[in-house]
Amino acid sequence: MLDTTRIRKGMIIKREDGQLWRVVEMQLITPGRWKAMVQTKLRSLKDNTVTDYRFRSEERVEQAFLEQVEMEFLYQSGDDHVFMNHTTYDQLSLTAEVIGDAVKYLIPNVIFVIEMFEGKPVNVIPPITIQLKVVHTDLFLKGASASASYKPATLENGMVVNVPSFIKEGDVLKIDTREDKYLERV
């Protein structure tokens, strides 16, 4: 058990309802003569909902430790997405609900980190950067102002990102998966 004043951003805690929550934000509030409080923003690992929760400073919470397993995405079979552990060669089928926002980066042969709690997958983390091919983008317009130097580009996974004007169809781009943002042309 952990004092709530020792909660930090990124921690996984288990609340009294038995659900696992990732701490997105944490702020210690000391309102003068009253007792301190810990204001948090928590994201559910079960359904990705975000909630604000205020702990009293004398409360205690259980910190959960997740096992992180590197697994390669193999293929999609109906609603299931199949991953393989490289060390044991075990295969694991996950639904889009468990994968969450990382589902848009599911490309065969890409390594993902799957967080497990008590043998069950609770979160899928894509690699920090991923290389994707541009399937559609508009041509550069000569004489466009400097503020129009970025244009939308549709990538092979269906995602649309803003790219510099020199990017053309067929280019392979490095994308930051944390912010869904263009980094560079490969």
Per-residue pLDDT in tens (0 to 9) along the chain, 186 residues: 788 888 888 788 888 777 888 888 888 888 877 888 888 998 887 777 888 988 888 888 888 888 889 999 999 888 899 999 988 999 999 888 778 778 888 888 999 999 888 888 888 888 999 999 999 988 766 655 555 578 899 998 888 999 988 888 899 999 998 888 899 988
DSSP 154-179: EETTS-EEEEETT--TT-EEEEETTT
Check whether residue 75 and residue 117 sit in a common domain: yes
Check whether residue 135 and residue 175 sit in a common domain: yes
Q: How many domains does the chain have?
A: 3
CATH for 85: 2.40.50.140
Check whether residue 7 and residue 25 sit in a common domain: yes
Q: How far apart are CA 91 and CA 73, in angstroms?
A: 10
Check whether residue 75 and residue 105 sit in a common domain: yes
DSSP 40-68: EEEEETTT--EEEEEEETT-EEEEP--EE
**pLDDT for the residue 84:** 93
**pLDDT for the residue 101:** 79
Among 103, 125, 147, where does a domain finish?
Answer: 125
Check whether residue 119 and residue 135 sit in a common domain: no
- The domain of 22 spans 2-63
Q: How far apart are CA 137 and CA 53, in angstroms?
A: 43
